[in-house]
């Protein structure tokens, strides 16, 4: 088809080159899940993140961790063991601050508690409300099918507590593939919570119009065996900016790459709310980290916005997950956007206000993709090459976890290395809770010739588990080989899903791709984007959005994972019926990123 190109205007703000960096998944000591202890399924997981700034620090809460994490820079996190915690753990908590203390409300299907602390760094928690009243009109758990008009599902599950500027409190809740997200005014005082009225049904999924709300891998609408399934709506979070109320939600389900964050916008805490035309906002279906739904939105001490989410692994168990952190922004016209462009490559952590979240990308490219890998030994079916495929569900498996086991990547030539990320997999780990011997210890070495080795980085005290250990090197290193040398892990087996090396190769970035097709299907929820392949490209970013000068959404894919032929193709199944979209494509390799192709309307 004929492509009509439109101009693209880019806003870039420089970020200090010496700013600390991080890479997703967030480098915290994810805890071993205890829920499948009787089934013998062992894995580390983290999901449904909430990061709350409080008294100059940040506090991170996750599903099924017996405590929380503290950071002063959003890069380095320390686990805080709580003085009291429910035996069944906490799932998808609502966490907020009233300025004097933190309030922590777990998901519940009955009468649970709200916890509080004015000194979260100490871990000392008290009860704010020890026993909540029954949720008015709620049916009993397990009897949702018998719900009647005016009733609500058991809960509040997946809650969010929001305090407006006038001091009034509101509660939002629910997780379901049938029921909507609800909201209600509440009043709170030490020892008591009271549900107010109205208790409103606020927003409901509409997958028949919103392509991205279809469940399944790439919004297939089905389970892997082809069984149709309704999508889930969950993880409410309210943010107020510029007099607008942004009611965010996770959809269509955490079990696949398409998990995303959407938003409805209103002018009051209980609506009415209008579906945002630019949905989804947090979206990352491609790359090593896949999935960005069910998190929260917050401002750092410099005034920058951030959005968290729940990437999916799903090797050991459907709900084996990690945590992602992406820069965000609220534009002057009210559009909320979350930047996941190169969202699992190193990003700079700003030390001042930044107007364009895309400017935080370091420009350090992935040097290890599909590179030759060797190991001291391997278990059949899990070769070293599995640690260079950008897939967290495949991994190199060592026959021994004794110190000294090695895994080495050959970058193919001398290149400038700036950072390394070692991602461990859980293979028959045999752990179901915290213990003193659950920690990670290893060192990284490098060599120009594969014979003479020098230190590159290593884990340092205090000891902690690092399932997704990230190391920014203090200075750039010119090298060809990077070697992992094992020391200790807490699980029963040594398995590395990906040894990821970042930096830059010599040479110029690739040429800009040329768009060949940008078309809508008969079903307007489906689009086809096709472009001319760029010789030597490692991968492509398909960037799209509702404005030609604001392509806020990205689908990243590797060049060797698209169909063979002169043109590369992405079936994009996320558009909304009746909404106009624009698209462009950029190529990347180990040297850098191309200029964008021309911007075209998807017709």
Write the pLDDT tens digit of every residue in 228-260: 999 999 999 999 999 999 999 999 999 999 999
Give pTM, 2 decimals. 0.95
Classify 146 as helix, strand or coil.
helix
| pLDDT tens string 26-55 | 999 999 999 999 999 999 999 999 999 999
Are 408 and 371 within 8 A, CB to CB? Answer: no
C-alpha atoms less than 13 angstroms from C-alpha of 188 in its C-beta half-sphere: 25
| pLDDT tens string 59-116 | 999 999 999 999 999 999 999 999 999 999 999 999 999 999 999 999 999 999 999 9
In order of their start, the domains of the chain are 25-360 (2.115.10.20), 366-504 (2.60.120.260), 514-602 (2.60.40.10)
Q: How confident is the model at residue 212 (pLDDT cuts 50, 70, 90)?
A: very high
285 Rama sector, left if φ>0, alpha if ψ -120 to 50, beta otherwise: alpha
pLDDT at 142 over 90: no
Other C-beta atoms closer than 10 Å to the C-beta of 514 total 15
pLDDT at position 19? 63
Residue of 231, 257, 191 lying closest to 391 (CA atoms): 257
pLDDT at position 462? 93
| pLDDT tens string 504-546 | 999 999 999 999 999 999 999 999 999 999 999 999 999 999 9
pLDDT at position 2? 38
End-to-end CA distance of the chain: 10
Q: What integer is the mean pLDDT of 286-309?
A: 98
Q: How confident is the model at residue 9 (pLDDT cuts 50, 70, 90)?
A: very low
| pLDDT tens string 448-478 | 999 999 999 999 999 999 999 999 999 999 9
Are 342 and 286 within 8 A, CB to CB? Answer: no
| pLDDT tens string 360-410 | 999 999 999 999 999 999 999 999 999 999 999 999 999 999 999 999 999
Residue of 76, 58, 79, 77 lying closest to 68 (CA atoms): 79
Q: How confident is the model at residue 566 (pLDDT cuts 50, 70, 90)?
A: confident
pLDDT at 18 over 70: no
pLDDT at position 296? 98
* Per-chain mean pLDDT for the chain: 95
pLDDT at position 488? 98
DSSP 311-370: -B--SSSTT-B--EEEEEEE-TTS-EEE--TTTTS-EE--SS--S-GGGGB--PEE--TT
pLDDT at 411 over 90: yes
Which residue in the block uniquely carries the two structure tokens 């002169």? 566
Q: What integer is the mean pLDDT of 315-324?
A: 96
pLDDT at position 190? 75
pLDDT at position 191? 86
DSSP E strands, 343-492: 347-348, 365-366, 373-375, 396-397, 406-424, 441-447, 454-458, 468-488
Cis peptide before 158 (omega within 30 of 0): no
């Amino acid at each position: 088809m004929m492509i009509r190109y439109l101009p693209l205007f880019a806003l870039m703000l420089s970020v200090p080159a010496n700013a600390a960096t991080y890479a997703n998944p967030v480098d915290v000591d994810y805890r071993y899940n205890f829920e499948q202890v009787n089934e013998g399924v062992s894995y580390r997981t983290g999901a449904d993140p909430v990061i709350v700034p409080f008294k100059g620090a940040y506090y991170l809460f996750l599903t099924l961790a017996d405590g929380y994490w503290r950071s002063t820079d959003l890069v380095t996190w320390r686990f805080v063991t709580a003085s009291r915690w429910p035996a069944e753990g906490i799932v998808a908590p609502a966490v907020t601050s009233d300025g004097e203390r933190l309030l922590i409300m777990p998901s519940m299907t009955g009468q649970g508690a709200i916890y509080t602390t004015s000194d979260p760094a100490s871990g000392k928690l008290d009860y704010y409300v020890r026993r909540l009243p029954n949720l008015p009109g709620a049916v009993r758990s397990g009897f949702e099918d018998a719900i009647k008009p005016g009733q609500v599902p058991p809960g509040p599950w997946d809650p969010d507590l929001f305090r407006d500027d006038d001091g009034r409190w509101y509660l939002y809740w629910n997780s379901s593939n049938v029921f909507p997200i609800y909201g209600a005014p509440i009043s709170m005082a030490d020892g008591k919570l009271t549900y107010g009225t109205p208790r409103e049904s606020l927003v409901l999924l509409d997958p028949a119009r919103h392509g991205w709300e279809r469940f399944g891998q790439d919004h297939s609408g089905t389970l892997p065996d082809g069984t149709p399934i309704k999508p889930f709506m969950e993880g409410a979070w309210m943010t107020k900016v510029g007099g607008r109320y942004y009611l965010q939600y996770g959809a269509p389900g955490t079990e696949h790459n398409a998990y995303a964050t959407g938003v409805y916008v209103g002018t009051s805490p209980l609506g009415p709310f209008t579906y945002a035309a630019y949905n989804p906002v947090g979206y990352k279906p491609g790359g090593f980290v896949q999935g960005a739904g069910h998190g929260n939105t917050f401002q750092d001490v410099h005034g920058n916005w951030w959005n968290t989410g729940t990437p999916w692994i799903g090797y050991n168990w459907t709900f084996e997950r990690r945590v992602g952190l992406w820069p965000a922004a609220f534009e002057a016209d009210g559009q909320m956007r979350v930047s996941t462009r190169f969202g699992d490559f190193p990003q700079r952590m700003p030390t001042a206000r930044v107007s364009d979240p895309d400017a935080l990308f370091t420009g350090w490219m992935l040097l290890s993709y599909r590179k030759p890998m060797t190991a001291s030994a391997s278990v059949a079916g899990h070769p070293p090459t599995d640690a260079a495929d950008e897939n967290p569900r495949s991994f190199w498996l060592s026959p021994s976890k004794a110190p000294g086991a090695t895994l080495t990547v050959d970058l193919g030539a001398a290149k400038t290395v700036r950072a390394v990320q070692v991602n461990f997999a859980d293979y028959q780990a045999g752990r179901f809770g915290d213990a003193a011997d659950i920690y990670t210890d290893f060192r990284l070495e490098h060599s120009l010739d594969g014979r003479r080795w020098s230190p590159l980085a290593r884990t340092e005290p205090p000891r902690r588990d690092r399932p997704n250990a990230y190391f920014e090197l203090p200075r750039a290193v010119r090298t060809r080989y990077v070697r992992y040398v094992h020391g200790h892990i807490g699980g029963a087996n040594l398995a590395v899903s990906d040894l990821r090396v970042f930096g830059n190769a010599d040479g110029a970035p690739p040429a800009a791709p040329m768009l060949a097709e940008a078309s809508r299907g008969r079903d307007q929820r489906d689009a086809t984007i096709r472009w001319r392949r760029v010789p030597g490209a490692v991968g492509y970013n398909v960037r799209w959005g509702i404005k030609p000068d604001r392509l806020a959404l990205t689908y990243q894919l590797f060049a060797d994972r698209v169909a063979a032929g002169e043109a590369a193709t992405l079936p994009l199944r996320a558009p909304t019926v009746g909404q106009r979209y624009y698209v462009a494509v950029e190529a990347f390799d180990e040297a850098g990123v191309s200029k964008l192709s021309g911007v075209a309307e998807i017709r």
